[in-house]
Amino acid sequence: MRPLCLGLALLVLSGQAWPQASPPPAAYTLGVFPYLPPVQLERLFAPLAAALGEAVGRQVRFRTAASFEAFGAALQEQRYDLAFVQPFDYVRIAAAAGYLPLARRRQPLVPLVVVLPASPLRNLLELRGHPVALPPPQAAVSLVFRHALWRVGLVPGRDVTLVYYRSHSSCLHQLLLGGASACVTASPPLRLFEAKRRLQLRVLAALPALPSPLFVAHRRLPAAERERLRAAILSWHRTPEGRALLQQAGFEAFVAATDADYEVVRRLWEELGTYEAPHTPALPHCRDDCFAGGRGNGPGVVADAGAARACCH
């Protein structure tokens, strides 16, 4: 009996009497580009982050940024482990920063120019002389809209006044208030806005489609975890619980994404540069303080012949 007691005492003193609990694995962060106000994004994406965490057995924390430019800087500095990015941020920043594509929305991104139901406007050419509200200059729909204006012979900032706001919802709100003749947006934020407001806006023009925003994972994540994350995202539309998550976020289904899917975005970005380089009509980088009203729906940046120059570079 005495040797047994002595043995137990030695185990206690050596810290081996009971198995030690392993520390929980480090949490990952999911960064979401700020196409909606932060509070609304958290409501939509925090459940998706939790579902991604279940797939890899660790917590995944939702994060966003105060502006598109700040989000791009965070991507470039590789602060996020996972991210949901718009197509131009993927080709311009994320791919070079070591992020790998996981999955994209099955539906393409179709930028929409919307107007009030009673608006007399009927096509893009009729926007000449009108103010148009947009999300920030770096937003995919803003870039595609500027490209579309050039293609029909309108010079952004000269023939059409571009007024930038912090988010899609601010842009749509300004349309309702009469602060702009049209707003450039996309289907998911438009559906959420119309459902909340119980109204229906009229689509003036659907611009050329692009591959949609996508989930990416930094290459520092183990390959096995990246594959589990991809499989989880692709499975969401197959279960009632997953479909509920997607519906809440304004999505339908996701498909596997590859870098090659976004070659069309790279080409459009290069072509837009050839149009804009000699003119600098709506400069693509604006300080946060350019957006008067902060988180509200105050005036945006007016990108005309001189008003943007003080805020944008």
Q: How confident is the model at residue 313 (pLDDT cuts 50, 70, 90)?
A: very low
Percent of the chain, pLDDT > 70? Answer: 81
| Mean confidence (pLDDT) of the chain | 86
What structural domains and CATH numbers belong to the chain? 28-108+211-264 (3.40.190.10), 112-208+283-303 (3.40.190.10)
* pLDDT the model gives residue 214: 98
pLDDT by residue (tens digit) across 2-17? 454 444 444 444 444 4
For position 22, what pLDDT does the model report?
57
Question: Over the stretch 229-244, which tens digit does the pLDDT of each residue have?
Answer: 999 999 999 999 999 9
pLDDT digits over 25-35, tens only? 799 999 999 99
pLDDT digits (tens, 9 = 90+) for 170-196: 999 999 999 999 999 999 999 999 999
CB 133 within 8 A of CB 179: yes
